[in-house]
Structure 1
Amino acid sequence: MPAARSIRSGEVTSLVGVLAPGGGTGAVLITGSPGVGKSTTLDALLRHTGDARVHRVTADEMSRTRPFGLIGDLVGVAVPYPPRADTAARVVDAVEQLCADRPLVLAADDVHHADPDSLAVLTGLVGATADLALTLLLARRPLPARTQLTALAARPRLHEVELTGLDDSGLEHLVAARCGAPPGPRLAELLRSANGNPLHAAVLLEDLARSSGLTTDAGTVELAADARASVPSSVQAAARAHLALVDEQARPLLQTLAVWGRPATVDQLARITGTAPVALLEPVQAVVAAGVARWVPGDRLDFAHDVYRDVVGADLAPPLRTVLHDACAAVLQADGAAGTEVLAHRASPGRALQVAVTELQYAPAQAADLLAEAADRAGAAEAEDIALARAHALSGAGQLRESRQVAQEALGWVRNPAIRASLTVVMVHAMLAGAQSAEVIGMIDRILAGELPQRQRASLERQRHLTVVLGGLASVPVRSGTAPSPAGLALELFLAGRCRDALAAAEAAAAEAPPPSVEPAPPWTDLRAAPIWPALVAIYAEGPEQARRRSLDDRRRAQEEGRSWLSPGLLFVAAGIDQVAGRWDDALATTDAGLEAAAAAGLGWVSRAVAMSAQIRIRRGELDRAAVELDRWRLQDLPEYAGLPMTTLAEVMLHEAHGRLPEAAELAARSWDETVGSGRRLWAPVAAPDVARIAARAGDAALLARVLADTEAVVGAGDQAPVLAPAADLARAVAEGDPDRAGAAATAYGLRGHVPGEMAGWEESAVAAAARGDADRARAAARHCTRIAESLGDTTSRRRLAARLRAHDLRVAPPARRARPATGWGSLTPTELRVAELVGEGLTSPQIGTRLYLSPRTVQTHISHSLRKLELRSRSELAATVARHRG
């Protein structure tokens, strides 16, 4: 995202370009202080929307209490309370349907008041502006600072501007619009002291007009001779001075409206104050006539500007505010309002906790907000339970840094041993999700050194074991003295190359339900990552197609259960399956979506995803882009997942692609010795195809011998990793220059669905045959290799094969045509075609995601790729193209 740019209030010409849906930046966030002109600028932008459909809402103080309330109002979707797991998907469905026939502009003012779930949906929609006929126009105050707004402002397609107030020309236009003539020198000088704030200047003009302090002479508006020449120091002071002029009998009405926190009907105000509606006629007329209140749609009364609400609320004595809050809560409760709305007025910590863990089970961010407010009023008995639930809710909402902070602060004062242990688990989860494994171990060891109930001690010991394995902090196995966790045992077996045993252990770990630490237990209290691992292990234990079926089931369950925090890990597993199965475009799309979700949540275990993306790009000749991805990952100082050097292998491949074979072999040998030597024997059959080739090309006989011995030792230990079993034959074929053995390995890889392994086998078969002078056999194997390379877009392997064969005076004719062109209809992958067809059927991203068990963001990525390949601008154009190809 570019840095926020300052503009003067009323300047809109530089922002009009984003109003072309599908182009420009797609979204604008206007930031400014109270009264500076955010709403006016928003309205001015909306006058440039052409024939687009425009939806506009303004958030108020009570908006924050309604889960998905603002986005539901903005889109026109009735949002149920309590919210359901599919609420966000239903909103996105509605947005895409609205965009289907004409461009849509969604404008939301005062989003600093918006509920956190609405902000999360808006954040996702910023990315959707790339392929929908959609523009977002949002306005906010810079304070209060909120995590969700920070994430929204950081989106790449969002353009943020900061309003700095009117210049002299703008003030002149303001005076002319209100008074019918431009200001004279004295009035202009007085208005400059308002610092360009339009509201401040407008209040000054109204006060001067009311006190006969303005005169019109010679076509200008000027201060009267006896007019006061001082101004309030701030827009709040100006509003306070204006409010002082309101009739004393109308003050209670404004105070009631301020505490109510949103526009109100006269009947509602009468019920709150316990009076007859007719008794409010005179006060209502007085505040409207004074210009501090106005009528809004729905026959409701509201403040003319929220600064008046702020001032009235701030000046209200706390005991009176409490009385009014109680009266507001009684009216809401009688009307059957949502529990979150009632609690905004009558903050009962016990009730807040109950609402958070029951009614807000699918709105963890809202639950965290509610519990934060309840914590300030809770007594000692309730405070500990609230702190634990709040830490859980923040974790479930993906706000891992905040979750850790809340848990860490609570551990400083919580005394209940069970709650302390549960807070520790939440804190460990947040730290471990951020890949801070060494820090986690240190913290757990300090806690284990003290007195603990046996159940909590056993839980922490299991967590310690899993952390050591996941962080790659010790040799495998690491079960010294303590019973391993089921998840840790599964990962340990996997790293040791015992994939079938690991799959059974992973299934047991995924089926195990830990005792809840919060009763009742909403989905956001289940912090286990175990559901991610069966499909990961199955890639090598059962094959990519069986793993894919498991992955689809895992994603479906997570979707139905509302466990969105699992999304990045599940996406990375799905990408790994696609990489092995040769669906590289799908793997890249899924990896991109997963990395985006991981960055938003602060997850640190991204090395496998970064390595997958880099390796595919290296094979496709995108060497500079791969180098940038690897450099960016290194700068984050993050560990390799479970100690497997996937990014190091990508660096090795990058060295090889640049022709730096000695450097590639040296780095490969060092990482090989460290990894296999630490008991992570799985690395041998996983990395053998690439490392054996590099060792042979670099003339490193010692490395090649180690690769062969280690790979045969793992494969020969039993049928534990059948998908990787051909690696042993391939390594021996490279060592002995045996085309028969290499061809057999290629065939075996192909039967197991391991496409990169099959391609590597045919490459080695072709080179070995050429070295033996068998040109016909070399050409046949080369054709097999090239066919696969073309289907994958693997230009690096194809060029490398040609160079290796030229060294034996053998040239292979290039293919007559690409298996898949770079652009046009024929360039779409099977998944892109399927997504495009469903777009053509009128399905939205969430509907397509449900059908294909993809995240909506992954669907959007596939659509964006299709639009780029087909040189289209929107989904409607994609749907029309699909229809033409069907016809």
Structure 2
Amino acid sequence: MSGNRNGVFRGREGERELLCGVLDAGTGVVLVDGAEGTGKTRLLNEIAAVAASRGFEVATAQDELDQPFLLARLAERRPDGPALVVLDDLHLAEPGTLAALRTLLSASAHEKVVWLLARRREGADRLFAVAAQRGATRVELRPLADDVVADLVTDLVGAAPDQDLKALASTAQGNPAALVELFDALERDGRVVVTAGQASLGDGRGPGTETLLREHVSALSGKARHLLQVASVLGPRFEPGDVAEMLASSTAILLPALDEVISAGVVTSLDDRLAFRHELLWRLVADSVPPPVRRALHREAGEMLLGRGDSAVVAAKHLLHGAQRGDARSIDGLVAAAKAVLWNAPEAAAELAVRALELTDQASASLVHRTVMAVRALTAAGRLPAAQALAQEALSRQVPPDPAAKLRHCVATTTLLGARHAESVEISEALLREPDLAPELAPWVEITRLMGLLGHDRERAGELAETVVRTRRGGPDDVLATALAVLAAIARDTGRPGAALDLAREAARCGTSHDLSAYPQLLLASLLSGLREFADADSVVRRVRSGPSAVVTRQVMTAVVQARILLQAGRIDQAAAEARAALAVAEETGHETVVAPALAVLAMVAIHTGDLPAALEHVERYRDQVPADAIIFSRAYYRWTAVLVTYVGSGLEKALPLLTPDLVASGLFAEEPRAAGWFVRRALEAGDEGLAKAVVDRVERLAEEHPGFGAVTAAAVHARGLLDSDAALLDLAARQHHDLWARANAAEDLGVLLTAAPDRAESVRALENALGLYREIGASRDSARVLGRLRKLGRRRRAAPARPASGWSSLDDTERAIANLVAKGQTNRQISTQLFMSPHTVNFHLRKIFRKLEISSRVELVMRSRDDQ
């Protein structure tokens, strides 16, 4: 084999450059972490050589036994010139050595000494922590990326590898030493052939990758091979005790076979268990077990775990592979696992429950109960059409009363989430009339009826909710919480924001386990956001999102509420992303009740970013759904959005008839305070002083009745300032408003009013203030309108510099934040927690990032991030 044998050091250019920079500074502490074989010692040796060539005095311990003697020598004298101290394998150092080293680091803090300290990820924790707190530079040698591995293989074999060689190289998991060891073995066996500039495993007549590794395993003794086959059924990592139990043996008796497979390099020892050294080895061994035997072993493994009380979820992974039709114990294990993960992993629960149902004989007495479990799991996973179809198919047969009631309730739930409220109410009320309805099911049927009535018949919903509140006062109670939330929604829609907020707060306190939507908490967050109490609203949503539940209904409803909070707070890009993500999930899963709220947010975003066709399309799509909605947002909010879109698209003449007295009298000005100023502005523009006065009277009365609602008070000041042409009030409103939108509106209104003054400097100042706020929000249409006003006053302002279409500089702040977190190795769920958005929204932004950077994977994003930053 030809090629660069020093290629092991590929992929460490950044680390070398960083360490050379520390040498340039002549002082500092560098902490190097790296697993065995990642090139840590090689890196230290190379930097030591560089330092020596620059005139550094280099002090290096030969091994861990030499470390205390080196430290003693350093303590006795100080270097005359620049010095580099290299200490490797500090994870093996004695406590006394580490204590002496901490002392020396402190003593030499102001000397021209560079300390290069290395360990294998663990050990010397206190030393590394203290050094890091004092500003030490951290270097972690991570596994090599796939493209670097390919380059390294090219170095080792002297030609570009084909796909088979790349697959073999991937089993080294980015560890350069393991990669070199593997290709050394190939070289000794004469396996690599270079033809026409490409390296491959032989010319087609020799053994391929799988044959090579299979031969390696075949060379083991029979006992060792049998041990590996059983272990492979348990997974790529396994407990020796589990293998012993399945072999009806003991770990002590298996020690010789375990020692053999470890010595052969097939299995390696981790901290808590054993593992196949490479995934390919694991798969080859697993494939060597005949399928019938493999199924039987999986079944035995699952039953073993169930029998001793281990996790039902872990057992279910085996039972999924091993369970057969009619195997009651294994199928029961699948059902138990589905129940265990129903709330925090509903997709897995659905897979387990549906598989259990598939394996159940049609004549089995357990069929209907397993059907109920499958329907519940499918509902939690957001697969509403499948859940409803399965439930209705089961109900078409003869079903005992108790499971039939559960299935009917599942149908009521899916129809409710599908915005078929009347149908949901009909099913729920029929269930509640049954005398033998199970006590544990009755509360959930009552909750479903309350929510269905809220979307179908407000008067009956209020009457029923009041009855529940009168009769169920006491401790935490989900039915009570839902009834209070229903009354809060009605109070919101009838213009009683104080009562709505009080009821919603009480509802949020009363809820316990109603996990499908967390509606009381989300309603509270929505009310708080309407009143511009953004910190409190964020806190409520954060509590909902931080819970263990991953039920899709809960997630998608939370996302759409979060979208409007972001919109009202002026974070328009994030609002659009969150709403699009919610809409996509809602349409995919059949959550029609979320479609209209998501479209309303997107319509508002589109109108402020100048995309009138999109705004019109969104309003047209939700128009037919609104009468059956008004659960998440009020009907007034949808009407306000439609009014705004109509005004922009068709002008004042078409929009004015939509500003009806009942809309003015609704709770809109507490749900969207900035609408008050807009209404007055349009009424005055049309010369309808009566409408303008009605709006001002309404919002002033709301402010007087609720003195603690600062956003409503500011809206009243703003509306009065417009009606009376009072510049002082408009200036006060521009300072008092709690959100950027309303503040910008008030500043613009002030600027327009002051254009009539002899000195237009104050007008220009107010309009420029408005322009800055609109640009901060990202409201391009509003920005363009204010720019036009400034031009009429003789002021020329350049448009905000447009971002380029591609490249790192094309990313907005949110996209850049997500890219940076991806570069740090965080998952979408971890990023969503940090940036307070749903995982679906993170994924939406990632797709935009990939498009702008012209990449297609997270790995490429990590590399691009490092290069560009």
The answer to whether the superposition gives a TM-score over 0.5 is: yes
Corresponding residue for residue 487 of structure 2: 489
- SS of structure 1 residue aligned to 2:352: helix
What code does the residue aligned with 1:431 have? T
Same amino acid, percent of matched pairs: 24
Q: Does the CA contact (< 8 Å) of 2:415 and 2:421 recur in 1?
A: yes
Q: CA offset at residue 595 of structure 1?
A: 1.5
Q: Does the CA contact (< 8 Å) of 1:435 and 1:638 recur in 2?
A: no
Alignment of 1:684-695 (within 5 A): 685=673, 687-695=675-683
What code does the residue aligned with 2:417 have? A
d(CA) in 1 for partners of 2:464, 2:378 = 32
Q: Does the CA contact (< 8 Å) of 2:518 and 2:544 recur in 1?
A: no
d(CA) in 2 for partners of 1:618, 1:817 = 19
Corresponding residue for residue 755 of structure 1: 740
* Residues 1:835 and 2:815 are matched in the alignment: no
- SS of structure 2 residue aligned to 1:725: helix
What code does the residue aligned with 1:535 have? A
Q: CA offset at residue 398 of structure 1?
A: 0.8
Corresponding residue for residue 704 of structure 1: 692
**Residues 391-415 of structure 1: CA deviation (Å, up to 9, x unaligned):** 2111111111222233445556677
Q: Does the CA contact (< 8 Å) of 2:521 and 2:541 recur in 1?
A: no
Q: Does the CA contact (< 8 Å) of 1:708 and 1:731 recur in 2?
A: yes
Change in 2 beyond 3 A, CA 1:874/1:98:
farther
- SS of structure 2 residue aligned to 1:658: helix
Q: CA offset at residue 448 of structure 1?
A: 4.3
Corresponding residue for residue 339 of structure 2: 357
What code does the residue aligned with 1:788 have? L
**Residues 601-643 of structure 1: CA deviation (Å, up to 9, x unaligned):** 2111222221222212211111123223334445778844334
Change in 2 beyond 3 A, CA 1:683/1:587:
closer
For 1:654, which of 645, 650, 654 is the aligned residue? 645
d(CA) in 2 for partners of 1:878, 1:814 = 40
- SS of structure 2 residue aligned to 1:716: helix
* Residues 1:584 and 2:568 are matched in the alignment: no
d(CA) in 1 for partners of 2:410, 2:518 = 11
Change in 2 beyond 3 A, CA 1:775/1:825:
farther
Q: CA offset at residue 473 of structure 1?
A: 4.3
What code does the residue aligned with 2:641 have? A
Unaligned runs of 5+ in 2: 1-141, 150-232, 234-245, 247-282, 307-314, 470-482
Corresponding residue for residue 400 of structure 1: 384
d(CA) in 1 for partners of 2:601, 2:341 = 40
d(CA) in 1 for partners of 2:286, 2:538 = 56
Change in 2 beyond 3 A, CA 1:681/1:782:
closer
Q: CA offset at residue 782 of structure 1?
A: 0.9
What code does the residue aligned with 1:865 have? K
Q: Does the CA contact (< 8 Å) of 2:564 and 2:601 recur in 1?
A: yes
Change in 2 beyond 3 A, CA 1:325/1:578:
closer
* Residues 1:568 and 2:556 are matched in the alignment: yes
Unaligned runs of 5+ in 1: 1-96, 105-259, 261-270, 272-295, 304-308, 310-320, 517-524
What code does the residue aligned with 2:597 have? R
What code does the residue aligned with 2:340 have? T
**Residues 704-735 of structure 1: CA deviation (Å, up to 9, x unaligned):** 23322322232322146433432222222222
- SS of structure 1 residue aligned to 2:566: helix
What code does the residue aligned with 2:419 have? A
* Residues 1:340 and 2:323 are matched in the alignment: no
Corresponding residue for residue 751 of structure 2: 766
Q: Does the CA contact (< 8 Å) of 1:607 and 1:646 recur in 2?
A: no
Q: CA offset at residue 834 of structure 1?
A: 1.7
Corresponding residue for residue 72 of structure 2: none
Q: CA offset at residue 880 of structure 1?
A: 5.1
Q: CA offset at residue 776 of structure 1?
A: 2.8
Q: CA offset at residue 491 of structure 1?
A: 2.8
* Residues 1:466 and 2:451 are matched in the alignment: yes
Change in 2 beyond 3 A, CA 1:562/1:795:
closer
Q: CA offset at residue 350 of structure 1?
A: 4.8
What code does the residue aligned with 1:726 have? A
Q: Does the CA contact (< 8 Å) of 1:675 and 1:681 recur in 2?
A: no
- SS of structure 1 residue aligned to 2:564: helix
Corresponding residue for residue 581 of structure 2: 593
d(CA) in 1 for partners of 2:572, 2:517 = 31
- SS of structure 1 residue aligned to 2:769: helix
d(CA) in 2 for partners of 1:99, 1:429 = 50
Corresponding residue for residue 424 of structure 2: 440
Considering only CA atoms, is the larger Rg found in Structure 1 or Structure 2?
A: 2
Q: CA offset at residue 440 of structure 1?
A: 1.9
d(CA) in 1 for partners of 2:837, 2:418 = 24
**Residues 146-165 of structure 1: CA deviation (Å, up to 9, x unaligned):** xxxxxxxxxxxxxxxxxxxx
- SS of structure 1 residue aligned to 2:673: helix
Q: Does the CA contact (< 8 Å) of 2:637 and 2:668 recur in 1?
A: no
d(CA) in 2 for partners of 1:473, 1:352 = 42
What code does the residue aligned with 1:433 have? L
For 2:413, which of 405, 408, 429 is the aligned residue? 429
Q: Does the CA contact (< 8 Å) of 1:708 and 1:728 recur in 2?
A: yes
Corresponding residue for residue 617 of structure 1: 606
Change in 2 beyond 3 A, CA 1:448/1:875:
closer
What code does the residue aligned with 2:372 have? L
Q: Does the CA contact (< 8 Å) of 2:419 and 2:591 recur in 1?
A: yes
For 1:791, which of 770, 776, 782 is the aligned residue? 776
d(CA) in 2 for partners of 1:331, 1:574 = 44
Change in 2 beyond 3 A, CA 1:537/1:756:
same
Alignment of 1:834-853 (within 5 A): 834-853=817-836
What code does the residue aligned with 1:347 have? D
d(CA) in 1 for partners of 2:839, 2:734 = 36
Q: Does the CA contact (< 8 Å) of 2:455 and 2:630 recur in 1?
A: yes
Please give the TM-score of this superposition, normalised by the length of structure 2. 0.57
d(CA) in 1 for partners of 2:855, 2:286 = 45
d(CA) in 1 for partners of 2:435, 2:486 = 25
What code does the residue aligned with 1:843 have? Q
**Residues 382-434 of structure 1: CA deviation (Å, up to 9, x unaligned):** 44533332221111111112222334455566776665554444323211211
Change in 2 beyond 3 A, CA 1:427/1:342:
same
Q: Does the CA contact (< 8 Å) of 2:385 and 2:590 recur in 1?
A: yes
Q: Does the CA contact (< 8 Å) of 1:555 and 1:570 recur in 2?
A: yes
- SS of structure 2 residue aligned to 1:854: coil
Aligned pairs, number:
569
Q: Calculate the aligned-residue CA RMSD, in Å.
A: 4.4
Corresponding residue for residue 160 of structure 1: none
Please give the TM-score of this superposition, normalised by the length of structure 1. 0.56
d(CA) in 1 for partners of 2:642, 2:785 = 17
For 2:522, which of 532, 542, 557 is the aligned residue? 532
What code does the residue aligned with 2:653 have? P
Change in 2 beyond 3 A, CA 1:409/1:734:
farther
Corresponding residue for residue 776 of structure 1: 761
d(CA) in 2 for partners of 1:770, 1:399 = 58
What code does the residue aligned with 2:411 have? M
Q: Does the CA contact (< 8 Å) of 1:828 and 1:869 recur in 2?
A: yes
Change in 2 beyond 3 A, CA 1:100/1:331:
closer
d(CA) in 2 for partners of 1:589, 1:515 = 29
Higher relative contact order (CA 8 A, sep 6+): 1
Q: Does the CA contact (< 8 Å) of 2:342 and 2:377 recur in 1?
A: no
Alignment of 1:159-174 (within 5 A): none
d(CA) in 1 for partners of 2:284, 2:853 = 45
